[in-house]
Copies of this chain bind each other. A is one copy, B any other.
């Protein structure tokens, strides 16, 4: 199934911007009168017919609408420190989109080797992954922020949001859960995965003070992107 993306849909029509129009008209050779499917990236699928098209702009009339198209029934935010090799992070973003995720927060920790990340490429990757896996909603990619700033920002998440920090060290006076034991039947979940060097003791302490539960990812030694994707996968299965 071929999907186009438009951030310019109203009750009557979807307008494809230049890049999507180019693909629609030049590559796929669509013409006025052709039926196309358009996602708005916010969860809605529009069945449309092309009214006018050019490589610069395509206007399609909406015939019918499917909301929450390809949606999952939980809200998952992953706050993951980008590894040195950025391709591994892009891979995580693509796979997480296929499985089901809502927001990705690149976080920079005290021990992060990578302190900067450009999000443009990531946004293109999750858009194409959402199209490929037939999802009307495209995950949001936040701009990078520090672990502390993310923890503060997480205070605005849903009140029933299960907040989890995956931390390898032991923590005094705090119980540590296997992550899968925290995920069953949750409406809203956020999982923090630290950099190669893990979170600092201060970062972990600050997370716990702000309502995060400390979780383990089991006995295997996982790379950042593998740890993050297994967390996405188990959240998906335990909330089907």
In Å, the complex CA distance between A221 and B130 comes to: 10
A124 surroundings in chain B (CB, below 8 A) = none
B178-A240 in contact (CB<8A): yes
User: Is A220 part of the contact surface with B, judged by Cβ < 8 Å?
Assistant: yes
User: Is A86 part of the contact surface with B, judged by Cβ < 8 Å?
Assistant: no
User: Is A142 part of the contact surface with B, judged by Cβ < 8 Å?
Assistant: no
Q: Which of A135, A220, A221 has the most CB of B within 10 A?
A: A220
A133-B221 in contact (CB<8A): yes
A18 to chain B, nearest CB (A): 28
Contact of A133 among B95, B98, B135, B222 (CB under 8 A): B222
A 203-229 to B, binary, CB cutoff 8 A, 1 in contact else 0: 000000000000000111111001001
Number of copies: 2
In Å, the complex CA distance between A234 and B231 comes to: 9
In Å, the complex CA distance between A53 and B180 comes to: 46
User: Is A37 part of the contact surface with B, judged by Cβ < 8 Å?
Assistant: no
A237 surroundings in chain B (CB, below 8 A) = 178-180, 218, 230, 234
A240-B223 in contact (CB<8A): no
A197 surroundings in chain B (CB, below 8 A) = none
A220 to chain B, nearest CB (A): 5
In Å, the complex CA distance between A136 and B36 comes to: 53
Q: Which of A109-151 contact B (CB under 8 A)?
A: 132-135
Binding site for B on A (CB under 8 A): 70, 72, 91, 95, 98-100, 132-135, 178-180, 218-223, 226, 229-230, 233-234, 236-238, 240
- Known contacts A95-B229, A98-B220; 10 further A-B pairs (Cβ under 8 A): A72-B220, A95-B226, A98-B221, A98-B223, A132-B223, A133-B223, A180-B237, A180-B240, A220-B236, A229-B229
Query: Closest 6 interchain pairs by CB?
Result: A180-B237, A230-B233, A233-B233, A218-B240, A234-B237, A133-B221
